[in-house]
Structure 1
Amino acid sequence: MMMATGAEERPMTATDIVSPVKLAHFVLRTSRYAEIVQWYRTVLGAKPAFENELLTFLSYDDEHHRVAILNVPGLADQGEGTAGVHHAAFTYASLTDLLENYERLAAIGINPIYVINHGPTTSLYYADPDGNQMEFQVENYASVEESTKFFYSPAFAENPIGVEFDPAALLARLRAGEDEDMLKKRPDAGAKGLADIKLR
């Protein structure tokens, strides 16, 4: 890519790139409008900043909206084997928050489609009524530097996907007094790849 500099052009360098400061929101279109709006209100604890019969803006923090949902009648369901976004991810403040949210949702019949300790994060994946996948996670390390270091470790090279776990059992251990940092430490499961995990 070339960058104009008055009368001449020069190749763009890394110092010319301006990156965004944060990810603000994502937008879904659906023909299951009321059901999808209710699902996101429930799983995220979100409230509408605006809603009518065509559009809902939802937020769970100080951002005016984190999720927007468009009512588009007559859409086809998502097909298997098509390209697109695999999932969006939301970070919780602690393992306790993550697992108590799991327990709350499970009590009303909303269960993860798979759970996995990736190493850098402990994660629960859900599918909304349209099949869009959402990851709810907690950071396993106290700093970005420590998480990044794990990506360069032999353990990650051997198993870049992670290790599945039982969230109810993990919550019971947490409530029994086991240390959160120790519970977030990924166990050694040997070599694993995509074929070993129920990723969809």
Structure 2
Amino acid sequence: MMINIQQIHHVAYRCNDAKETVEWYQDNLNMEFLVAIAEDKVPSTKAPDPYMHVFLDAGQGNILAFFELPNSPAMGKDPNTPEWVQHIAFEVENRDDLLAAKEELEAKGIDVIGVVNHGIIHSIYFFDPNGHRLELTYRDATEEQLKELKRVAPEMVAEWSITKRAPKHAAWLHSEEFE
């Protein structure tokens, strides 16, 4: 039997405060609060560790979840991983929606980086109250661009695994012609 993944059911992150997190995602990204689950012990491990687990609708059947863990040490980040690496990306329909979102977030006092042109997508970046980096993006790739990226992907990974230097097969994504 082969595993047949249908979609990601949810992605879960830790948060500092479940109520603050739910309200922030409702107020700033218009996500619907779906479910809250709280237990005094972890169902999978049976460890006595109370938690609040909240679920938000990220659109199209995608769910973003958070755990508040009051008995665990304060949340931290891997000091060896730059803050731009781990992030959650959400898709909007088009450039107008991205620009409107940027304007709305900035009006609410949220620092926003971008619009960054990645050749096949355009993105803005900002942080939630837990320090998680978020991205809003829209796609504008052509079929030819996507085909070429898929074609060169194995070659790029093979070259990277040997040299640990950025292969140039898709350097056009961030070339000046796209800036």
- TM-score (normalizing by structure 1): 0.60
Number of residue pairs matched by the alignment: 148
What RMSD over aligned residues (CA atoms) do the two structures have, in Å?
A: 3.3
* Contact map agreement 2:119 2:172 (CA 8 A) in 1: no
CA distance in 1, matches of 2:128, 2:169: 29
* Contact map agreement 2:89 2:134 (CA 8 A) in 1: yes
Show the 5 A alignment for 1:1-200.
18-51=3-36, 54-61=52-59, 63=61, 66-73=63-70, 74-82=73-81, 86-141=86-141, 145-149=143-147, 151=149, 157-158=170-171, 160=173, 162=174, 187-188=177-178
Displacement of 1:148: 1.1
Structure 1, residues 96-152: CA drift from partner, whole Å, max 9, x if none? 1111111111110123245411011001122222221122100013x5x33414636
The 1:28/1:123 distance shift into structure 2, 3 A limit, reads same
Identity among equivalent pairs (%): 27
Q: Which runs of 4+ in 1 moved over 6 A?
A: none
Displacement of 1:27: 0.8
* Contact map agreement 1:78 1:130 (CA 8 A) in 2: no
CA distance in 1, matches of 2:123, 2:64: 20
CA distance in 1, matches of 2:171, 2:11: 33
Q: Which runs of 5+ in 2 are unaligned?
A: 39-51, 153-167
CA distance in 1, matches of 2:169, 2:16: 40
CA distance in 2, matches of 1:80, 1:137: 27
Structure of higher CA gyration radius: 1
CA distance in 2, matches of 1:118, 1:125: 13
CA distance in 2, matches of 1:109, 1:156: 39
The 1:188/1:68 distance shift into structure 2, 3 A limit, reads closer
The 1:32/1:159 distance shift into structure 2, 3 A limit, reads farther
The 1:17/1:52 distance shift into structure 2, 3 A limit, reads closer
Give the letter for the 2:171 counterpart: E
CA distance in 2, matches of 1:27, 1:77: 16
Q: Which runs of 5+ in 1 are unaligned?
A: 1-15, 164-185, 190-200
The 1:55/1:90 distance shift into structure 2, 3 A limit, reads same
* Contact map agreement 1:123 1:137 (CA 8 A) in 2: yes
